[in-house]
Amino acid sequence: MNKISGDRTLLTADIPMSEFNSIAVLSIDEYISKGGYKGLSKAIRELKPADIINEVKKSGLRGRGGAGFLTGKKWEIVDSSTGDKKYVCCNASEGEPNTFKDRSLIRSNPHQLIEGIAIASYSVGANDAYIYINEKYTEEAAILEKGLIDAKGKGYLGEKILGGKFSLNIGIKKCPDKYVAGEETAMMEIIEGWSAKPRQKPPFYPASRGIHGNPTLVNNTETFSNLPHIIVKGSEWFLNIGSPKSPGTMIFTLSGDVKRPGVYELPMGTPLRKIIYECGKGMKDRMVFKAAFPGGPSNSPVTEAQLDTSLDFDSLREIGTGLGSATVIVLGDSTCIVNTVLKFSKFFMEESCGQCPPCQMGTVKLFKLIKKVEDGNGRINDLKDIEDTCTLLKNQFVYCHLLIGATLSVEGAVKNFRSEFETHINEKRCIYKNEDILATI
């Protein structure tokens, strides 16, 4: 156990990437023996829905899916919205490269997630919920299916849960292995039987107009998994972990040029340097640190001078990047950053659904410009073209975040590592090793 993982809430141990496929699943009996489902029992038997929403608000829990929106505030919007019925959706699509935290939570402790969904459903008045999961995650889906059966068998799901009036059905909905399928309104489309294409916002905000036009609460796997602990231990306990504006822990997926890539749960506000050099055991192959993408491919990279930045929503925003889904991708000095953002750019180009012309055409243009530089055919004025293209694309009206994400990593790389792009242009070739930093399991 590394020293800074002492405040774990959701995971029982670090998960090195080499051990990912051997994670032991916690059974329902083991979960109950460790205090599992006490949060749901307390919620249903002792608390009113409004009390739970208020406790979540007081905890300061922010969504762990990328935006960092206050969870309690979102619940309040769903609770106050009207419709024929209400739904709850757990977004476990996890389609961004090098992100494995949701899969880790499902593999290790599915009942923690199921209990969190049940608490949320009771709080906002929903009797139907979905776990929305990538179709390629067959093992995780099977774990969830068994978990739902076991939970229903113990009286934690189904009709009149724990002898009360609340009933809940949770179904599993598999989604295409597409990045855009993880966008919350594209999720609504899939659940309703359509293709994975985001809806225009406004007016289609899920909290007020979600599944079949009804209020729908959408949170991700990690957000829901925090709820049983907050209900049992209280908001004050949660506020004492992490940083003042970003309380609690966060599950980070660490990958790239480190000795020990893996999934690590750390207090919010942990310095980037610590996750690389303590959790990851430092740089591999005697490399020297060059850059890190603290929020994955859809956020700007940071430099060596920024290694002591706190990993939380606000601290990273202050230096021009973001936490995203806490996917930390590390590059050593022999890995090419131009080639890295080229791979990111290709990913976004291929994952664009084509619904919004600025995204469809803009991602293609960005990819071609970066490829021109990487191939040794670039000119100095191409860098200005890349910057201008990013500025233009960020101001286009589109239905989802894909286009913005595609520009941020490119724009940040050119800004912070311009000399490396210039070297490609002047040398008319790449002088670095092209490490494949996109991890797969």
Q: What is the DSSP letter of 258?
A: B
Nearest-angstrom CA–CA distance, 302 and 290: 9
CATH code reported for the domain at 246-332: 3.10.20.600
CATH of 337-427, one of 1.10.3290.10, 1.20.1440.230, 3.40.50.280, 3.90.1300.10: 1.20.1440.230
Quick check: 2 pLDDT over 50?
no
What percent of the chain clears pLDDT 90, i.e. is strictly above it? Answer: 94
Chain segment 291-306, per-residue pLDDT in tens: 999 999 999 999 999 9
Determine how many CB atoms are found less than 10 A away from the CB of residue 403: 23
Q: Are 109 and 33 in contact (CB under 8 A)?
A: no
For residue 1, name the pLDDT band (cuts at 50, 70, 90): very low
Chain segment 105-153, per-residue pLDDT in tens: 999 999 999 999 999 999 999 999 999 999 999 999 999 999 999 999 9
Average pLDDT, the chain: 95
Chain segment 6-55, per-residue pLDDT in tens: 568 999 999 999 999 999 999 999 999 999 999 999 999 999 999 999 99
Domain ranges of the chain: 35-240, 246-332, 337-427
- What's residue 65's pLDDT? 86
Nearest-angstrom CA–CA distance, 54 and 61: 11
The token pair that represents 412 in the structure block? 């940040």
CATH code reported for the domain at 35-240: 3.40.50.11540
* DSSP states of 276-293: IIIIS-SBSTT--EEEEE
Q: Pairing relation of β-strands 289-293 and 15-16?
A: unpaired
- What's residue 386's pLDDT? 98
